[in-house]
Chains A and B, each alone.
Chain A
Amino acid sequence: MKTKKTALNGGEAISYAIKQVDVDVFAMYPITPQTPIIESYANHHNNGEVTTELILVESEHSALSTVIGSAASGARSVTATASQGLMYMYEVLSVASGLRLPIVMPVANRAISAPINIHCDHSDAMACLDQGWMMAFCESAQEAYDMTIFAFKLAEKVSLPIMVCIDGFYTSHNLENLETYEDKVVKKFVGDYKGPYNLLDTKKPISIGALSLPNTFFEIKVELFKAFDDVEKDFLEVSKDFEKTFGKKINFFEEYKVKDAEVVIVVMSSTAQSTKNVIDKLRKERKKVGLLRPILFRPFVYSKYLNTLKKAKEIIVLDRAEGPGSSSPLYKEIKLSVCDNDKKINVTSYVFGLGGRDLFEKDIEELLNGFIKGKPNKEKYLGLKK
């Protein structure tokens, strides 16, 4: 298969993938830092490169409602958002998942108000964790491009909606040299839209969103919960297919020098890139450190994590969101993954980068060295001003 090197930012990379898939409906409402996605897609549309029906709506609530309607009507449908936009969609998130519609929604993660801020953290996506959506967090524009293609196939296979998350600005706006595939190969991989039903099929009339009282509601919900149990198997199948077609493996998480690591740092999205540089540096100093980067966050495949993490002595979890009055979301999942292990593994939680506060390589190095020396950093919030 031929590939092409192209310089695109994360938003454009996602948009390019959606262009190659040539989706039927794209409902658009601009919000920083997601805007590069819809902006560049509008360009593709204007240049006649796609046959997509662009629907310019008046709010994010309408954007998702629109694609719920179109996806139910047998059209492959996409919308994209971030931050307050995602908050405004919240009401209809569970409608999309409850109706089992395979909508693909890129999210450029951004802080949520107040105070108002347009920069990156994961508070927006983490606020929507348990609404029945699958969620994948991408490290780079390349991964965002691959994951978007992957997401269509996975979502339609399991009949669940999926958010493809990238770090706002860090990934969405930074230019990257990435490898793109041929249109026809992408189209063939994704295939024709396979919705769970078609509202416009007049030969088989259906009604969706009917009232469900205590005698039926519970079963329908459990059917959705159980669908998440099947994702693991289907994810691996799609992943195998993806590898065969594009020569790349997409996994539940990325392991970076984890196998013999005593101190493992767990962090998602773009921060993993600078963390890898630190790992490389410390490895040269013969320090046994490694990185684990979760990609598929919903469903969270606990069993696989335990297998990878059980040899570690110390696990450091870096969250880009906090659960006030509780614990940070990624920390909770990692703690749950290792709690059934016989050997006790220390899991320490840190929160960094809220509202786009940078975390530098030297900060990560200092943090890791603290653990290696047995003097871990006591302050949970990294990079706070004194």
Chain B
Amino acid sequence: MTKENKKIGGVLEGGTSKQYSTGNWRHKKPIWDSKRCVQCMLCYVYCPDNCILVKKNKDGKLVRTETDLEFCKGCGICEKVCPVKCIKMVEEDKE
């Protein structure tokens, strides 16, 4: 909650979580290997912060793309659920 957007009783407008970059909570980040990814979309379903970005590919099919590191808290759930182990959690300052 920021001072600017407060109303009576600390009530906020909707959608304010967009303003808070929870990415800086993270100490490990997910590195995704797009070549080994089978596009099962399990990481997309499990991500609690909706950080697995998706788009339509040229066949019109939804596929996952990069991770949204602005909001990813580094929980590592995507690494755990990935069936082909194409996501690795690594320390922030290492690639």
A contact residues vs B (CB 8 Å cutoff): 98-101, 159, 196-197, 204-213, 215-216, 219-220, 223-224
Contact = CB atoms under 8 A, between A and B. Distances in A.
B12 interface: yes
Interface of B: 1-3, 6-16
Q: Lowest 6 CB-CB distances: which A-B pairs, in order?
A: A205-B14, A100-B9, A220-B10, A99-B9, A216-B1, A207-B12
A197 B7 contact: yes
B3 A216 contact: yes
A25 B27 CA distance: 48
A100 B7 CA distance: 11
A207 B16 contact: yes
Nearest to A227: B8
A210 B13 contact: no
A210 B10 contact: yes
Contacts of B9: 98-101, 159, 196-197, 208, 220, 223-224
Main secondary structure of the interface of B (DSSP, over half): loop
Given A210-B1, A216-B3, A219-B3, A98 B10 contact: yes
B2 A197 contact: no
A212 B10 contact: yes
28 contacts: A98-B10, A99-B9, A99-B11, A100-B8, A159-B8, A159-B9, A196-B9, A197-B8, A197-B9, A204-B14, A205-B14, A206-B7, A206-B12, A206-B13, A207-B11, A208-B9, A208-B10, A210-B1, A210-B10, A210-B12, A210-B16, A211-B1, A216-B1, A216-B2, A216-B3, A220-B10, A223-B8, A223-B9
Contacts of B15: 205
B17 to A, nearest CB: 9
A219 B8 contact: no
Nearest to B14: A205
A201 to B, nearest CB: 10
Nearest to A220: B10
Contacts of A216: 1-3, 6, 10
A307 B10 CA distance: 37
B8 to A, nearest CB: 5
Nearest to B4: A216
